Chain A
Amino acid sequence: AQKITQTQPGMFVQEKEAVTLDCTYDTSDPSYGLFWYKQPSSGEMIFLIYQGSYDQQNATEGRYSLNFQKARKSANLVISASQLGDSAMYFCAMTPPPGGSEKLVFGKGTKLTVNP
């Protein structure tokens, strides 16, 4: 069974600084997808970034980058130049190999607070 672990219940960062949110995963499948979502207090889950298990390079999307270390089974999210609007819950998630239902397995999330 797949499992996602996010060990940081809460993180604080100063505006304009970078922050790393940790995510480790467990799976026996060689093929999988890793996602990060942001959930503001409004509730909507906002897709941030995706990393495939066979992708050779770390994914980047604007201020977001994913530090993918396959051997260590970690997929940490790095947010550069934090903004006040980045304050939210952040969830790491994974999907099984393609070929059927691709339900997302989520971690428990990390609450990020950006201080002015």
Chain B
Amino acid sequence: KAGVTQTPRYLIKTRGQQVTLSCSPISGHRSVSWYQQTPGQGLQFLFEYFSETQRNKGNFPGRFSGRQFSNSRSEMNVSTLELGDSALYLCASRRQGTSGVSTDTQYFGPGTRLTVL
């Protein structure tokens, strides 16, 4: 079974530009979450999507947005890039997404390393 895939693996952008990152979850997984990892702030939750709906959002500015498609693939977009947006962006997928079930493990992709110059 293929794991979570993320594209591209590396990106270099300049301040003010925008970027779109893509994530394909494990087949059958309906929930996709995004995390930002920086040396200073560690791992921080960005948002979670389930059935094309954003279910939760972390404490990030509106420049960070995302969406999920009917095949569960997800994209996140960062507009007006700032130097502080340089980070490893990790996507994770989870099988379940409905209430009343036990916690399911989130499986991560290899990440997209974004550098903003």
Chain A residues in the interface with B (C-beta under 8 A): 32-33, 35, 37, 42-47, 50, 52, 91, 93, 95, 98-109
Chain B residues within 8 Å of A108, by CB: 42
List 9 interface pairs A-B (beta carbons < 8 Å), by A numbering: A35-B105, A44-B109, A52-B102, A98-B101, A98-B102, A102-B31, A102-B103, A104-B35, A104-B43
A95 in complex: contacting residue of B42, B88, B103, CB < 8 Å: B103
A103 in contact with B105 (CB, 8 Å): no
Q: Are B48 and A99 in touch, CB under 8 angstroms?
A: no
Q: Which residues of B contact A (CB under 8 A)?
A: 31, 33, 35, 42-43, 45, 48, 55-56, 58, 88, 90, 92, 94, 99-111, 113
By DSSP majority rule, is chain B's interface helix, strand, loop, or mixed? strand
Interfacial chain B residues near A44, Cβ < 8 Å = 108-111
A98 to B92, CA, bound (A): 17
**Count of A-B residue pairs with CB < 8 Å:** 67
Assess whether B113 is in contact with A43, with CB atoms less than 8 Å apart.
yes
B108 close to A37 (CB less than 8 A): yes
Question: Beyond A45-B108, A50-B105, A95-B103, is A103–B42 a contact (Cβ under 8 Å)?
Answer: no
Residues of A with C-beta under 8 A to B48: 101-103
Q: Are B90's CB and A45's CB within 8 A?
A: yes
Task: Please measure, in the bound complex, the distance between the C-alpha atom of A99 and the C-alpha atom of B88, giving whole angstroms.
Answer: 28
In the complex, besides A103-B45, A104-B43, 16 extra interface pairs with C-beta distance below 8 angstroms are A42-B110, A44-B110, A45-B92, A47-B108, A50-B105, A52-B102, A98-B101, A98-B102, A99-B99, A100-B55, A100-B99, A101-B56, A102-B31, A102-B94, A103-B56, A109-B42
